């Protein structure tokens, strides 16, 4: 990210969003809203003195609620640019940050800034979010504090995370002796999403190995539907993890209950290979949650006039032949914008999308085949139904209450 920010041909507009989009391939006009940080970007040095002196404490989103941040904070340690931002929804304007800022970078009166851009092509890389577990909370997430997600576990294991890399139970601060991991939470399920989220199995194996390396005496049990280690070297990695003493059970966990006497979590599951019921008392339960489209995808779909599938992912023209191209010429997609992917696949699709955009812009002229609907003025009564149904915002009602189609 640092090398990207320093590249002479790349301009980073962070904390910004697209609000308007128009034009044709090779000549798109974009209006960008740059939201106020209430911190002067040119003056802020990222020293962190303001964050240390803020009296407000709220859950830290980057650490998934494990640990706290102030009303003024730096989003995460590797932020690019490394600048503070003020959360006005919780700020009490005590001016503590202003008094303690040696660079005098605090500006409470900052307003949104609008930037107009003219570009030839667009690449949508909207990312992903965790499956909302509370939507179908079979595993008591949020009810039992010792039921966490893989991302929360990763933040705890990180040396720069909220616990300094040390694992402990949220409920009592003790080190867990038995850890259970449950796969496909929100994926491959009639209650959640039917698709596989691709990375969950590999992430669980990686985190299990990290735990075993750090705590050799810990017991780890992974409950899975099918262990899908589908990328280069992953099957060998799966075998290596099992040889390290990590137990894998093919079966779904049906229920989790709290054992009040031992303060552990009682899991009941079915082992589909032995056709037997399995009961386990775990100190910590880790859920491998699936991938869903980011919240920004829905809004961006409307602004760019793109189509999406039933799950909210952006759709390509053809999954095999044109996986990076969309129905709007000049707009390309990559990464998890189109569906769940791991890092190598995301990088590959990003390179492909960039190549497609460069190829398009390398031409002197762009030939676009127009297939345009026509309006029969004698029959149109200005009901606006077509305007509402058009996903591409191509239909408007003129002053005579007659629909018009924007042909370009």
- Report the pLDDT averaged over residues 62-84: 94
Paired tokens of 39: 């911190």
- Report the pLDDT averaged over residues 295-303: 91
Q: How far apart are CA 238 and CA 250, in angstroms?
A: 14
CATH number corresponding to 2-119: 3.30.70.20
Check residue 190 and give its pLDDT.
Answer: 85
**pLDDT of 49 strictly over 80:** yes
Paired tokens of 280: 């386990």
Kind of pairing, strands 264-271 and 276-282?
A: antiparallel
Contacts of residue 133, defined as CB under 8 A and 6 or more positions apart, other chains included, come to: 139, 141, 142, 149, 185, 186, 287, 289
- Report the pLDDT averaged over residues 119-127: 96
According to DSSP, the residues that pair with 258 across neighbouring strands are 265
For the CA atoms of the chain, what is the radius of gyration?
Answer: 25
| Residue ranges per structural domain of the chain | 2-119, 124-128+293-361, 131-291, 370-408
Q: How many residues does the chain have?
A: 408
- Report the pLDDT averaged over residues 118-123: 96
Under a CB-based contact definition with an 8 Å cutoff, are residues 207 and 233 in contact?
no
Under a CB-based contact definition with an 8 Å cutoff, are residues 182 and 256 in contact?
no
Under a CB-based contact definition with an 8 Å cutoff, are residues 139 and 147 in contact?
yes
Closest CA to 155 of 145, 147, 166, 146: 166
- Binning pLDDT at 50, 70 and 90, where does residue 407 land? low
Contacts of residue 262, defined as CB under 8 A and 6 or more positions apart, other chains included, come to: 281
Q: How far apart are CA 313 and CA 294, in angstroms?
A: 9
**pLDDT of 229 strictly over 60:** yes
**pLDDT of 205 strictly over 80:** yes
Check residue 364 and give its pLDDT.
Answer: 83
Task: Write out pLDDT tens, residues 138-156.
Answer: 899 999 999 999 999 999 9
Neighbour tally for 86: CB within 10 Å: 23
Check residue 199 and give its pLDDT.
Answer: 94
Contacts of residue 96, defined as CB under 8 A and 6 or more positions apart, other chains included, come to: 50, 53, 54, 55
Check residue 2 and give its pLDDT.
Answer: 84
**pLDDT of 408 strictly over 60:** no
Percent with pLDDT over 90 in the chain:
79
Q: How far apart are CA 62 and CA 370, in angstroms?
A: 45
- Binning pLDDT at 50, 70 and 90, where does residue 5 land? confident
Q: How far apart are CA 143 and CA 146, in angstroms?
A: 9
Check residue 33 and give its pLDDT.
Answer: 97
Contacts of residue 365, defined as CB under 8 A and 6 or more positions apart, other chains included, come to: none
Under a CB-based contact definition with an 8 Å cutoff, are residues 211 and 241 in contact?
no
- Classify 158 as helix, strand or coil: coil
- Binning pLDDT at 50, 70 and 90, where does residue 343 land? very high
Kind of pairing, strands 253-259 and 219-224?
A: unpaired
- Binning pLDDT at 50, 70 and 90, where does residue 213 land? very high
CATH number corresponding to 131-291: 3.50.50.60
Q: How far apart are CA 244 and CA 217, in angstroms?
A: 11
Check residue 377 and give its pLDDT.
Answer: 85
Angstrom CA distances, 322 to 123, 124, 351, stand at 14, 15, 14
Helix (H) or strand (E) holding 239: helix 234-243
Check residue 370 and give its pLDDT.
Answer: 65
Q: Which residues of 278-297 are buried (b: 16+ CB within 10 A; e: fewer)?
A: eebebbbbbbbbbbbbbeeb
């Amino acid at each position: 990210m640092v090398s990207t920010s320093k590249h002479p041909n790349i301009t980073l507009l962070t904390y910004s969003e697209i609000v308007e989009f128009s034009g044709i391939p090779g000549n798109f006009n974009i209006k960008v809203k740059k939201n106020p940080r209430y911190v002067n970007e040119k003056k802020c040095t990222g020293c962190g003195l303001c964050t240390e002196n803020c009296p407000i404490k709220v859950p830290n989103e980057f650490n998934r609620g494990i640990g706290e941040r102030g009303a003024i904070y730096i989003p995460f340690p590797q932020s690019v640019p490394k600048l503070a931002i003020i959360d006005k929804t919780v700020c009490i304007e005590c001016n503590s940050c202003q008094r303690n800022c040696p660079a005098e970078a605090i500006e409470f009166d900052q307003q949104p800034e609008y930037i107009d851009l003219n570009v030839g092509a667009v690449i949508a890389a909207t990312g992903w979010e965790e499956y909302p577990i509370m939507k179908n909370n079979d595993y008591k997430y949020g009810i039992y504090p010792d039921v966490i997600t893989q991302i929360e576990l990763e933040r705890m294991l990180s040396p720069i995370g909220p616990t300094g890399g040390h694992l402990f139970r949220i409920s009592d601060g003790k080190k867990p002796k038995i850890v259970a991991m449950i796969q496909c939470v929100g994926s491959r399920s009639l209650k959640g999403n039917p698709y596989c989220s691709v990375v969950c199995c590999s992430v669980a194996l990686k985190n299990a190995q990290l735990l075993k390396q750090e705590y050799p005496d810990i017991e780890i049990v992974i409950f899975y539907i099918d262990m899908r280690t589908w990328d280069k070297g992953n099957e060998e990695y799966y075998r290596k993890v099992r040889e390290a003493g990590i137990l894998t059970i093919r079966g779904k966990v049906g229920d989790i209950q709290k054992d009040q006497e031992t303060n552990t979590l009682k899991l009941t599951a079915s082992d589909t290979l032995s056709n037997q019921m399995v009961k386990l008392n775990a100190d910590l339960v880790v859920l491998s949650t699936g991938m869903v489209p980011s919240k920004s995808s829905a809004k961006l779909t409307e602004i760019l006039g793109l189509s999406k599938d039933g799950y909210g992912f952006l759709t390509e023209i053809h999954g095999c032949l044109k996986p990076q191209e969309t129905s709007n010429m000049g707009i390309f997609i990559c990464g998890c914008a189109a569906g769940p992917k791991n890092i190598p696949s995301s990088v590959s699709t990003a390179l492909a999308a960039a190549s497609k955009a460069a190829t398009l812009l390398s031409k002197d002229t762009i030939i676009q085949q127009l297939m345009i609907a026509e309006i029969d003025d004698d029959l149109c009564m200005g009901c606006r139904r077509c305007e509402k149904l058009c996903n591409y915002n191509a239909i408007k009602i003129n002053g005579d209450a007659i629909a018009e189609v924007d042909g370009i």
